[in-house]
Amino acid sequence: MKIISRLLNLPSYLQLITSLIESDAGQVTLIVMSNQLPVKCPVCQTVSTQVHSHYERTLGDLNLGEYRVVWKLWVRKFFCSRQDCPRKIFCERFSQLIEPWARRITRLTKQLTDIGLAVGGQLGVRLSKHLNYQTSRNSLIRLVMGLKLPEPDTVEQLGVDDFAWRKGVCYGTVLVDLEKNQPVTLLQNREAQTVSEWLQTHPGAKLLSQLYRDGWPTGARSPKARSLRDRRIGRSQYPNRATLSQISQLSCQAQTQ
Ligand SMILES: [Zn+2]
């Protein structure tokens, strides 16, 4: 049992009670209990030792050889001792090893996410099956879509353009790093106010350029950006479209407040 615990890299607060090997199903089932004390309420961070009840969580883990690994983890619920806390009863948490409400150990989630990132949903399912993991296309896509995007570095040359969420109905704004030729972020609409608010929370742009559908960069004076031509091509076609002049005006107003 100690060998399996070491192979699984179990933290000290998790105890492997027993393991069941089902050769026909190609599966190892691990019965694991937690003995961490005290635990903290996730809402108010008050320490508690008063157990309310137990329940069982079923979790997938990385394979051991040709066997799939499934945990049956006994999780405890605790009373929160703080009177004014809205969470009267809470479940113990397992740091980064197991995310709340997850159905997999984090290391398996990471591996499936890597598969989804590398080959996408449909091919990812085929590759996962080949590696003896059960998943679906939607699960892989959900994992990839759930990844947190890294905060963009300071963008010195920023391009601003609009795009259609739904052509003729709903438009957004795309911001582009002109030095790296990479999109930075998408904004929900193409109002000058929205772009101005983004610029205030991401200072550093020295050159602001408004892009147009034909690809010709034009622009206008911005509080911290040097001047480019403001040709406003296509303005009659997009009467609600934010121009750099509007963005600059709003940014100046915000700075003087
Ligand atoms: Zn609490």
229, part of any domain: yes
Q: Which residues pair with 34 in a beta bridge?
A: 14
Quickly state the pLDDT bin for 255 (edges 50, 70, 90): low
- Alpha-carbon gap, residue 223 to 132, rounded angstroms: 57
152, part of any domain: no
31, part of any domain: yes
Quickly state the pLDDT bin for 2 (edges 50, 70, 90): confident
Look at residue 239 in the predicted model and tell me its pLDDT: 39
| DSSP symbol at 137 | H
- Alpha-carbon gap, residue 130 to 134, rounded angstroms: 10
181 shares its domain with 168 = yes
94 shares its domain with 127 = no
Look at residue 151 in the predicted model and tell me its pLDDT: 74
User: Is pLDDT of 128 > 90?
Assistant: yes
74 shares its domain with 112 = no
198 shares its domain with 167 = yes
What spacing in Å lies between the alpha carbon of 34 and ligand 1's midpoint?
20
Q: Which range marks the domain in which residue 24 is found?
A: 2-100
- Residues less than 5 Å from ion ligand 1, measured at CB: 41, 43-44, 80, 82, 85, 87
49 shares its domain with 63 = yes
Look at residue 233 in the predicted model and tell me its pLDDT: 33
Q: Are 217 and 159 in contact (CB under 8 A)?
A: yes
pTM: 0.65
168 shares its domain with 247 = yes
157-166 and 207-210 strand pairing: parallel
User: Is pLDDT of 242 > 60?
Assistant: no
* pLDDT mean across residues, the chain: 81
E strand or H helix at 3: helix 2-8
User: Is pLDDT of 108 > 70?
Assistant: yes
What spacing in Å lies between the alpha carbon of 39 and ligand 1's midpoint?
11
Q: Among 67, 100, 133, which residue terminates a domain? A: 100
Q: Which residues pair with 172 in a beta bridge?
A: 163
SS (H, E, C) 155-174: CCEEEEEEEEEECCCEEEEE
Can you tell me the mean pLDDT for 22-26? 90
Q: Are 220 and 227 in contact (CB under 8 A)?
A: yes
- Alpha-carbon gap, residue 175 to 157, rounded angstroms: 10
132 shares its domain with 167 = no
- Alpha-carbon gap, residue 180 to 175, rounded angstroms: 12
User: Is pLDDT of 68 > 60?
Assistant: yes
Q: At what angle do helices 106-130 and 137-145 cross, to 10 degrees?
A: 140
Can you tell me the mean pLDDT for 98-125? 93
**Choice between 195 and 60, residue whose per-residue pLDDT is larger:** 60
134 shares its domain with 47 = no
Quickly state the pLDDT bin for 125 (edges 50, 70, 90): very high
78 shares its domain with 131 = no
What spacing in Å lies between the alpha carbon of 226 and ligand 1's midpoint?
53
16: three-class secondary structure by DSSP: strand
What's the domain count of the chain?
3
User: Is pLDDT of 257 > 70?
Assistant: no
87, part of any domain: yes
191, part of any domain: yes
For 162, 168, 252, the CA distances from 190, given in Å and listed in that order, are 6, 13, 19
173, part of any domain: yes
pLDDT tens digits along 182-241: 888 888 888 888 888 888 888 777 767 765 444 333 333 344 444 344 333 333 334 345
Residues in contact with 107: Cβ distance below 8 Å, sequence separation at least 6, in sequence order: 61, 62
226, part of any domain: yes
What spacing in Å lies between the alpha carbon of 53 and ligand 1's midpoint?
16
Q: Are 63 and 133 in contact (CB under 8 A)?
A: yes
**Which residue reads 């998408």 in tokens?**
186
pLDDT tens digits along 130-179: 999 999 999 999 999 998 877 777 888 888 888 888 888 888 888 888 88
**Residue 237 tokens, joined:** 């076609």
**Which residue reads 């997938």 in tokens?**
60
**Which residue reads 């159905």 in tokens?**
103
Look at residue 213 in the predicted model and tell me its pLDDT: 43
Look at residue 205 in the predicted model and tell me its pLDDT: 76
Q: What percent of the chain has pLDDT over 70?
A: 81
Print burial letters for 174-183: b (CB count within 10 Å at least 16), e (below 16).
bbbbbeeeee
27 shares its domain with 84 = yes
What spacing in Å lies between the alpha carbon of 52 and ligand 1's midpoint?
14
32 shares its domain with 45 = yes
What spacing in Å lies between the alpha carbon of 51 and ligand 1's midpoint?
14
The alpha carbon of residue 12 and the mean position of all alpha carbons in its chain are separated, in whole angstroms, by: 29
